[in-house]
Amino acid sequence: MSKTYNIAVLPGDGTGPEVVREAIKVLDAAATKYAFKLNYETYDYGGDRFLRTDEVLPENAADDLRKFDAILLGAIGHPDVKPGILEKGILLKLRFDLDQYINLRPVKLYPSVDTPLKDKGPADIDYVVVRENSGGIYTGTGGFSRKGTTDEVAVQSMVYTHEQVARCLRYAFEYTRRRAKDNTLALCGKTNVLTYVYDLWERVFHDIGESEFNEIRRDYYHVDATCMWMVKNPEWFDVIVTGNMFGDIITDLGAITQGGMGIAAGGNINPEGVSMFEPIGGSAPKYTDQNVINPLACICAGQMMLETLGEMDAAAAVESAVTSTTPKLKSMQAGGMGYSTTEVGDLVAETVG
Ligand code: IPM
Ligand code: MN
């Protein structure tokens, strides 16, 4: 009897539905080849639904989604909705409610993809950022006083518990061990200024590393220096672990070094629960329904989903199909691929299947 996985699909806004459609095409090709089944259930969460119903997310959304084996998300963000409402009300709310405390973001330069980094190639740009995804300044409290006056005060606090830090670091060490590349985990912090929060991170990093992961080499970089070395010497990195805000920022830098938002994928992981996979770019509204958006980021998100489901052969086949597809594309940019969205999906799916 073949194995069946139930997948919740959230195509979302803008070009989200188009890239999700291609990812599903590739996932189905992999499922057929490796003899498992994927059942999809689609949810219409996003800007259009919000404008129609005035509800960002139904009350039971997280509970509904918890029943699935994984979630595939297209993009959230709508030009007619004020920035922040959908991002916070859907994307961040699901990450927090489903306790997806890891945001896993590979920075991998595929063959023949243009990188803005001079003299660097696929052998140099191949590392993974483990971004803490459940806390930090994203969930710390804040507020205004005397709003709208010249005496206004705004506060937004960065809050981490020992448990949040420890579970993220433990995941990062385990991931580094499993990856078995350079056995090096780098903590990205700011211990010279954020002397409370990153002091905690650094202490727990060395405690856990020394007692449980002695064979993993530990490096430390301040976040500003991390940005510098990601540009100058990306080959130094194997796995980088960092807090939520720094992780958000450095993974956009990482994404542009791997060819941009057309190819960058990520996973919001709850190692004990349901995880959600997404291309890390936005909804790109101006390209909606033109069949020109690059679906590779969403296809790579699907690849990460297969890995998390434990379908390693299928995941490897998708990865290798992407590797043989990138050299055929003129660029990773929307409208500049030399192929339509549908055709890129076809190229990958045919190679898999
Ligand atoms: C990301 C995005 C989100 C974040 C936004 C849209 C809330 O930038 O996934 O990196 O800041 O986490
Ligand atoms: Mn971001």
Ligand 1 atom with least separation from CA of 77: 6
Q: Which of 86, 87, 250 to mutate to test the pocket of ligand 1 (most atoms within 8 A of CB)?
A: 87
Calculate the average pLDDT of the chain.
97
Q: Distance between CA atoms of 11 and 301, rounded to whole angstroms?
A: 13
Q: How far apart are CA 94 and CA 109, in angstroms?
A: 29
Determine whether 276 is exposed, middle or buried from the number of CB atoms within 10 Å of its CB (0-12, 13-18, 19+): buried
Ion ligand 2 residues within 5 Å by Cβ? 248
* Active-site residue set: 138, 190, 224, 248, 252
pLDDT digits (tens, 9 = 90+) for 14-25: 999 999 999 999
Give the whole-angstrom CA distance, residue 229 versus residue 233: 5
Using 50, 70 and 90 to split pLDDT, how confident is the model at 2? confident
Helix axes 296-309, 341-352, angle to 10 degrees: 40
Q: What per-residue confidence (pLDDT) applies to 53? A: 97
Query: Are 276 and 71 within 8 A, CB to CB?
Result: yes
Strand pairing partners for 137? none
CA angle 89, 24, 181 (to 5 degrees): 85
- The per-residue pLDDT for range 277-323, each reduced to its tens digit, is 999 989 999 999 999 999 999 999 999 999 999 999 999 999 999 99
Can you tell me the distance from the alpha carbon of 236 to that of 229, in angstroms, rounded to the nearest whole number? 8
Q: Rounded to the nearest whole angstrom, what is the distance from the C-alpha of residue 151 to the centroid of ligand 2?
A: 31
Encoded tokens for 113:
């993809």
CB 341 within 8 A of CB 14: no
pLDDT at 225: 98
Instruction: Name beta bridge partners: 8.
Output: 41, 71
On the question of pLDDT at 46 being above 70, the answer is yes
Residue 170 banded pLDDT, cuts 50, 70, 90 = very high
Selection from 79, 83, 94, 6 nearest residue 45 by Cα = 94
Count CB neighbours of 309 within 10 A: 18
Nearest residue (by CA) to ligand 1, atom 4, is 248
Q: Which tokens go with 169?
A: 């670091």
172 CB near ligand 1 (under 6 Å): no
Closest alpha carbon to 249 in 188, 204, 171, 299: 188
pLDDT band at 1 (very low <50, low <70, confident <90, very high): low
Q: Which residue's CA is the nearest one to ligand 1's atom 9?
A: 280
Mean pLDDT value of segment 114-118 = 98
Distance CA 160, CA 202 (A): 13
For the chain, what's the residue count?
353
Q: Give me ligand 1 centre to Cα 76, in Å.
A: 10
Among the bound ligands, the one closest to the CA of 134: 1
Nearest ligand to the C-alpha of residue 94? 1
Burial of residue 105, with CB atoms counted within 10 A of its CB: 0-12 exposed, 13-18 middle, 19 or more buried: buried
Amino acid 227: pLDDT: 98
Ligand showing the shortest atom-to-Cα distance for residue 131: 1
Over the stretch 206-239, which tens digit does the pLDDT of each residue have?
A: 999 999 999 999 999 999 999 999 999 999 999 9
Amino acid at 312: M
